Amino acid sequence: MFKPSTLLQYVRDVATSATFYSGILGTAPVEQSPGFALFLLGDGAALGLWQRDDVQPPVDAEGGAAELAMVVANPDEVRQLHDAWRALGVQIAQAPVTLEFGYTFVGVDPDGHRLRVYSRAEGMVARD
């Protein structure tokens, strides 16, 4: 059985997006070319940024139709990341709020991809 490990985001400008993600992730890409950048996220997961004009087969979808969700340990970390992202100039689509699944906020990358940070609500447990 295989385990999905890489999320690919189609972007207008790889260099701009790589700079953006370096800021919010606090790390540089492990690989970068004019058409692609790759960030290692830990636990075998990765984020690839692919120049949307070079994607094969071509795509016509726009950013914002899905979310990259990142779980943190507690609501304090959600607030800290929200404040750090605002300081970096990240557009915030949803200020910190408590929803059914936990405490969360949503930022938006330069291509309109939604980035949700959340801490799980009490009683919500991840299952492998």
pLDDT tops 70 at residue 124: no
Convert the pLDDT of each residue in 43-100 to its tens digit: 899 999 999 999 999 988 778 778 999 999 999 999 999 999 999 999 999 999 999 9
Does this model's pTM top 0.85? My answer is: yes
pLDDT for res 55: 93
Question: Do 70 and 128 belong together in one domain?
Answer: yes
Asked if the model's pLDDT at residue 19 lies above 60, the reply is: yes
Give the domain extent around 17. Answer: 1-60
Which band of pLDDT confidence, cut at 50, 70 and 90, is reported for residue 38?
very high
CATH at residue 73: 3.10.180.10
What is the CA 3 to chain-centroid distance, rounded?
19
Residue scoring higher pLDDT (126 or 2): 2
Indicate whether 54 and 90 sit together in one domain: no
CA distance 58 to 56: 5
Residue 127 pLDDT > 70, yes or no?
no
Q: What is the mean pLDDT of residues 102-116?
A: 96
Please, which residues have CB within 8 angstroms of residue 68's CB and are 6 or more apart in sequence? 7, 9, 47, 113, 114, 115, 116
Task: Pick the last residue of a domain from 41, 60, 79.
Answer: 60
Domain boundary among 13, 30, 60: 60
